[in-house]
Structures are given as structure tokens and as C-alpha cells.
Amino acid sequence: MTNRQETEHRSFAAPDEVRSFDSGSAQIVKIGGAEIGRLVFSPGWRWSEHVKPIAGTELCEAPHFQYHVSGTLRIRMADGSEFDAIAGDVTSLPSGHDAWVVGDEDVVVVDWFGASEYAK
């Protein structure tokens, strides 16, 4: 069996889906048989305050594989470990975390894994 990749070109300027929530949004683009998300969080955004009511879970249960474009995102894992992700960082986050914007700059991340179910 041969897998054949096809040429595709998409833009977050024309996403397939936009999910808006208080202080943020998720733009979803379908490409290459996958869903890629650009997540934008405004200053003051916190998952446990703004997305938890949508998700209905105590912590974010969506695993993520993300490239951080801008801003500072503080991430606290279920085990209590905590770190800041900044522009240029790549993070792999398993289920079970909270996150929030630090500072007065929007956080923008591109998420290759987890965006398809984010904020649903």
C-alpha cells in the first residue's frame, strides 16, 4: 500500500471552523487529513476560568503538541509542576493541565495535536 501525499495550501485567515470563548478563540484548519489549530488567548485568559465550563472537566484533558508564536503561557500540570512557554518554544502536553496568560501580550500557539477537540 502506498500513501500518497497531496499538495494542499491553507491559511488561518480562512479557517474551516472558529470556536470563540471568553478571552480567546481557536481557529481550526483541515489539511493533510489532520486538524491544525491556532489558539489565541488574550491577557487575563485562564483555561480553568474560560474553557473549563465548556469542557466540563476539572483540568484540560486535550493533549497538545504546540509551537508558541507569541506571548507567555504558564502551564501547570496535574502533578503540580509548572513552567512558562514563550515564543519559539515547542511543548508536548499530556492530558491534565491548566494554563493561563502571563503579562499583557496575546498568547498565540499553533497546535498540531489536540485542537480538533479543544473548547468543545
- What is residue 120's predicted lDDT score, i.e. its pLDDT? 55
For residue 25, what are the contacts with CB-CB under 8 A and spacing of at least 6? Answer: 18, 19, 39, 40
Q: Give the model confidence (pLDDT) of 67-111 as tens digits.
A: 999 999 999 999 999 999 999 999 999 999 999 999 999 999 999
Q: Where are the alpha helices (DSSP H) in 25-68?
A: 47-50, 52-55
pLDDT digits (tens, 9 = 90+) for 35-77: 999 999 999 999 999 989 988 999 999 899 999 999 999 999 9
Q: SS3 for 33?
A: coil
Q: What is the pLDDT of residues 8-31, one digit of tens each?
A: 999 999 999 999 888 999 999 999
DSSP code for 95: S
Amino acid code (one letter) for 48: S
Torsion of CA 109, 43, 73, 31, to 10 degrees: -10
> So what's the pLDDT on residue 21?
86
**What is the Cα–Cα distance from 33 to 49, expressed in whole angstroms?**
32
Q: What is the pLDDT of residue 90?
A: 98
